[in-house]
Copies of this chain bind each other. A is one copy, B any other.
């Protein structure tokens, strides 16, 4: 399987890639529209970002009429794994506990989440 070595993404590129995942596939315009209200980027800026993402291997595109339709070339899971690990390494020396704890303290995790977590873990143990 593809153990392809992808060049690292910049923060803004990450932001854009996420939107492409969300839309499955998208043109420059569509990405622009999908940007959060407090985040404006010129058409050209988005275009540049998408191109760079393609050069780095995260996206591919096909033509549809005069427009380019960009689509992911990598699974979110794949990218998320390395990105999160990287993040964990930098900010917490690789130990996830402080992160989880922070999420809980910050009210980002609720009972629901915990229930689902327990299930996940149980399932993992069974296997």
A101 and B116 in contact, given A93-B22, A111-B121 (Cβ under 8 angstroms): yes
A100 and B96 in contact, given A15-B90, A91-B14, A114-B114 (Cβ under 8 angstroms): no
A18 and B121 in contact, given A84-B99, A99-B84, A100-B113 (Cβ under 8 angstroms): no
Interface: A63 (CB within 8 A): no
Q: Complex formed: what's the CA distance from A90 to B100 in Å?
A: 18
Interface: A67 (CB within 8 A): no
* Dominant secondary structure of chain A at its interface with chain B: helix
Copies in the complex: 2
Contacts of A75 in B (CB 8 A): none
Nearest CB in chain B: distance from A39 CB, A: 9
Binds B, one of A23-31, A49-57, A102-110: A102-110
- CB<8 Å pairs between A and B, sample of 6: A18-B90, A81-B102, A81-B106, A84-B102, A84-B106, A110-B121
Point out residues on A near B: beta carbons under 8 Å. 11, 14-15, 18, 22, 77, 80-81, 83-84, 86-93, 96-111, 113-114, 116-118, 120-121, 124
